[in-house]
Amino acid sequence: MDKENFGYKNLKNLSNIKILIPEAKLKEKIAELGRKISNDYKGKVPILISVLKGSFIFIADLCRVITIPVIFEFMAVSSYGTSMQSSGVVRITKDLDCNIENKDVIIVEDIIDSGRTLNYLIKNLKARNPKTLEVCALLDKNVPGKVKNQVRYKGFDIPNEFVVGYGLDYSENYRNLPFIGYIENVDYIL
């Protein structure tokens, strides 16, 4: 589905959003990630931790292609606020509701930007003594000075652009676009 047919005609300057990853490519890659997770965790019941808000659409689609039982958990962390750049300060705004000790855990992230938020999450969750801890990230942005993290399941490497759609937002807008797009000229987007 292209953006002109999506129903965003009432929003001005949608022409500033350029499609980076179309809906069909997203579905194809998510099916591939789901197959890998299903094979790797056969006979196990991993806990998928969705990092809110951005990963909620990704985890919903991912779980529908995983063919083994899974448990869902949700965390919310913030390092952006309403800014387009990470502040570098990570804080948990919603913690897990279950104990992950001696469990197989997969962090499900929408995007790895600076890597600091994911690094913080990995350290925080490792301190809770899971049996295994892996990362599944839809997008990995090419950012200078990035903190390196081990990502077992990765969707797409993307350029250093501010992206929206498929759960990712700009000031809480555009999360429901069915594709990943980048904002060409943010001054005229809203």
Query: Cis omega (within 30 of 0) on the bond before 103?
Result: no
Does the annotation mark 110 as catalytic? no
Structure tokens at 51: 């990092």
* CA separation for the pair 65, 31 (Å, rounded): 6
Catalytic residue among 61, 104, 110, 113: 113
Q: How many CB atoms lie within 10 A of CB 138?
A: 30
Q: Which amino acid is at 129?
A: N
Buried b (16+ CB within 10 A) or exposed e, 150-178: ebbbbbbebeeebbbbbbbbbeeebbebb
CA-based nearest residue to 51, from 116, 121, 104 = 121
Question: Among all chains, which residue has been given the structure tokens 């919310």?
Answer: 76
CA 175 to chain centre: 12
Burial label, 49 (beta-carbon count in 10 A; 0-12, 13-18, 19+): buried
Catalytic positions are 113
